[in-house]
Structure 1
Amino acid sequence: MNPTAGASPEDLRNRLVDAVVNEDTSSVRDARVDTAMRTVPRHAFLPDVPLEEAYANKSVTIKENPDVDALPLSCASQPDVVHFMLVQLAVREGDNVFEIGAGTGYNAALLKYLTGPSGHVTTCDIDPDVTAYARRMLDANGYGDVRVVTRDGALGAPESSPYDRVIAAVGMWDLPAAWWGQLAVGGRLVVPLRWRGLSRSVAFRREETRMRSDSVRMCGFLPVIGQDGERNGYIDDNRLVRLYWDQDQDIAPELLRDSLSRPKSVVWTDATVGPVESFDGVWLRLSATERPTCRITVNPAAMEAGLHRPASPALSPALVEGDSIAYLILERTAENPDGEPRFRLGAVGYGPVGTDLAERICTQIHAWSPARTAEPVLTAYPADTPDSDLTDGAVIDRPSVRLVITY
């Protein structure tokens, strides 16, 4: 029997929020966000979606991409991600808020609820179909005072600035220069930031000459249109193994064509994880210590043909130097065969310096293991900031920003 059958929208909303809050392992809470999500009717912004689906903890596509091999053009974000990003944003009553990525208008409605009658919300999207949909939904649900604009979000909306809070609901590879001047000093920016093949929701606090993070959470978002600094390419003739990296990295996939057919080097650590325990922090540490960090994606057919299975075939961290590669792996331990399984972490390397790369991955596994919930600090500076003014850490240069990652 389906326990949600016949349940009211209010009941379904409360159950969804209860589940989201109970499953959130972070220590940061905001009761106002809980109340907003219990109040604003998500289903009303998804009128063509069955009620139970509207209150499932999953994203909903609202505009498909005509390219069948591409990601959708617009989605209603997964509710647990909406929740923790709003917690990161810490909206106050009376705030002036700018949102990039209008979606269904639901998130803008939540923002308006949080800012209250004295606050202001502007949401934008580059796609006129998306903004038209958001405008209709907001008007139909009593949020006519939310401003909706059609434009490239990288330009911001200077006519309504300065903003106390800025939030992006699309994956950003760079932090546009326009945002610096439009976010007030002391304000907050929450953005799904992409670097070294990974994506994390980063909450920045705006300071006089920089932005400094105080929260980094795992997330996945559709990439923003117009930022093309990410690269990808296959490293095998059968197009089964693919790498994703940034334009500032010296990675040439054609040099790796023969690497995976060479003898492999496997290096193990004594660090173990349970079946649902995250080892995501290893990737974050690699990005803060190893410039050649990137992402590998492996088709099951490649593993059937003998390639060593990555820890997560869909997205695992890798190191690449010239014609050599190594990536994170795991295997079940023999201990406690009748109890909950444990998996030890290690790395496999291919190519002339594959062993060295694998050992460098294991060094970061060892660094991560005793402090598994530690988050890096990301500090963003304008692109023209000299090296002497940067904090210590790994520097990643983008067209509009210099990003420093520190543990």
Structure 2
Amino acid sequence: MTEHMTPQELRNRLVDQIVKTSLPGLYDARVEDAMRTVPRHDFIPRTPLELAYANQAVTIKDNPDRDALPLSCVSQPDVVFFMLAQLSIQPGNNVLEAGAGTGYNAALMRHLTGPAGNVTALDYHEDVAAHARQRLDATGFSEVRVLTRDGALGAPEYAPYDRLIATVGIWDLPTTWWDQLAVGGRLVLPLRWRGLTRSIAFVREADCLRSESLATCGFLPMIGQDGEREGYVDEDRLVKLYWDADQPIHPLSLRKTLAEAKEHLQWTDVAVAPDEPLDGIWLRLSALDPATCRITVRPEAFTSTAALHRPAIPALSPALVAGDSLAYLVLEPVDVQGSGRYRLGAAGYGPAGQELAERLGTAMRAWDHNRTLSPSITAYPAQTPDEELAGGHVIDKPSVRLVITY
């Protein structure tokens, strides 16, 4: 049936699906109109139409390292939708984009600014920027500027900007962006900390950036930011940790602990539906516990002689690590008349495993008290003294101080 649909029909079908499932508070009728108008398939011409209008990301530049992430992708359409809703572009705005990709996002933004506005898109890779330039010219968006440049540098020659968006994962907020974003302007970026990523809409004030909305997302990391660490715990490379540079985490310190696999299980009364997201627990942990990080465990680790307990989400689970001890989120079925629900708990390993599991349980119960509550995240320049920060948990990075407040 779909093979007989026109690109416009496929585009409308996709946007209908996105609007139907859009996140609460992140709908913008003007963004809907832009996505119904701008032809996504023309920006990825070698992609089959059905895939071009599927709600999934499309790789446009592979990584020569087979074990690494792609170097460039066109973002998943529903993520494009809610990030542009967060950005709230107005006619006449001057917009900067870090991460040009195919040029599709820049075209949508040009549609939103109208002829009185300006859009400048930056990309680190010369061939990616050239593709974006060619596609924008071919689709009638030749007014968009495309520059081959490290996105962290911005484009001061066209500043100040009313809107700034990053379509790559950002670990540390470049100081250049503070200088180039006008007071009252909006910054939307996929911010990374403690192994998680959130698309955050910040509003620029004189001395800080205050969050207005948060949404779960995943993006390739920006090239040149080296604050994230990763490493395997075991010789078989089945268990891997992801953490931040300011955290005293050393995976090899856990090798003996995990080899022995002596676990401390702590169960809570918190129950979830099979398809209920658990990312709110991770977000809570990042605001409560400086030991928060991410663990990934391959299936073979559950069936080995010293078998580990299966994490709640093997490829993407929050964990706490302290010295030679760790704990992570687990779940098990709740057999109540075939309810299909699961109760949550924590598996701890090492001398402090029980204590870490109890700390995880504290975060689960806090989340259970109000599962939809989002924190306020305020970003300050790195030199801001403690007494000028909002109350909350502080995470320091080289260029920015983040304060997470519930």
Equivalent of 1:241 in 230, 235, 239: 239
Equivalent of 2:177 in 156, 176, 179: 179
Corresponding letter in the other structure for 1:117: P
Aligned mates of 2:372, 2:334 — CA distance in 1: 23
Task: Select between 159-168 and 67-76 the one with higher mean Cα deviation.
Answer: 67-76
Aligned to 1:349: 348
Aligned to 1:327: 328
- Tell whether the 8 Å contact from 2:60 to 2:74 is kept in structure 1 after alignment: yes
Aligned to 2:368: 369
TM-score, length basis structure 1 = 0.98
Q: In the alignment, does 2:64 pair up with 1:63?
A: no
Corresponding letter in the other structure for 2:45: P
CA deviation map 1:36-79 (0-9, x unaligned): 00000000111111111100001111111111111111111000
Aligned mates of 2:126, 2:132 — CA distance in 1: 10
Aligned to 1:204: 202
CA deviation map 1:215-234 (0-9, x unaligned): 11100000010001101111
Corresponding letter in the other structure for 1:374: L
Aligned mates of 1:336, 1:5 — CA distance in 2: 44
Gaps of 5+ in 1: none
SS at match of 1:355: helix
CA deviation map 1:59-105 (0-9, x unaligned): 11111111111111111100000000000101101100000000000
Q: CA deviation at 1:405?
A: 0.9
Corresponding letter in the other structure for 2:334: T
Aligned mates of 2:345, 2:163 — CA distance in 1: 41
Aligned to 2:271: 272
Aligned to 1:115: 113
Corresponding letter in the other structure for 2:402: L
Q: CA deviation at 1:4?
A: 1.7
Q: CA deviation at 1:5?
A: 2.1
Aligned mates of 2:95, 2:295 — CA distance in 1: 37
Structure 1 runs of 4+ with >3 Å offset: none
Q: CA deviation at 1:237?
A: 2.1
TM-score, length basis structure 2 = 0.98
CA deviation map 1:349-388 (0-9, x unaligned): 0011101100110111000012111111111000111111
Aligned mates of 1:157, 1:322 — CA distance in 2: 43
Q: What is the number of residues matched between the two proteins?
A: 403
CA deviation map 1:266-285 (0-9, x unaligned): 11111111111111100000
Aligned to 1:223: 221
1:4-403 aligned at under 5 Å gives the runs 4-260=2-258, 261-305=260-304, 306-337=307-338, 339=339, 341-403=340-402
Q: CA deviation at 1:27?
A: 3.0
SS at match of 1:112: helix
Q: CA deviation at 1:336?
A: 2.0
CA deviation map 1:117-152 (0-9, x unaligned): 101000000110010000000000000000000111
- Tell whether the 8 Å contact from 2:311 to 2:330 is kept in structure 1 after alignment: yes
Q: CA deviation at 1:174?
A: 0.4
Corresponding letter in the other structure for 1:185: V
Gaps of 5+ in 2: none
Q: CA deviation at 1:247?
A: 0.4
Q: CA deviation at 1:254?
A: 1.6
Aligned mates of 1:351, 1:382 — CA distance in 2: 38
SS at match of 2:2: coil
Corresponding letter in the other structure for 1:269: T
SS at match of 1:257: helix
- Tell whether the 8 Å contact from 2:87 to 2:165 is kept in structure 1 after alignment: yes
Corresponding letter in the other structure for 1:35: D
SS at match of 1:356: helix
SS at match of 2:152: helix
CA deviation map 1:203-258 (0-9, x unaligned): 10000000010111100000010001101111122211000000000111121111
CA deviation map 1:280-334 (0-9, x unaligned): 1000000001001000000100011211000100010000111110001111111
Aligned mates of 2:23, 2:334 — CA distance in 1: 26
- Tell whether the 8 Å contact from 2:23 to 2:82 is kept in structure 1 after alignment: no
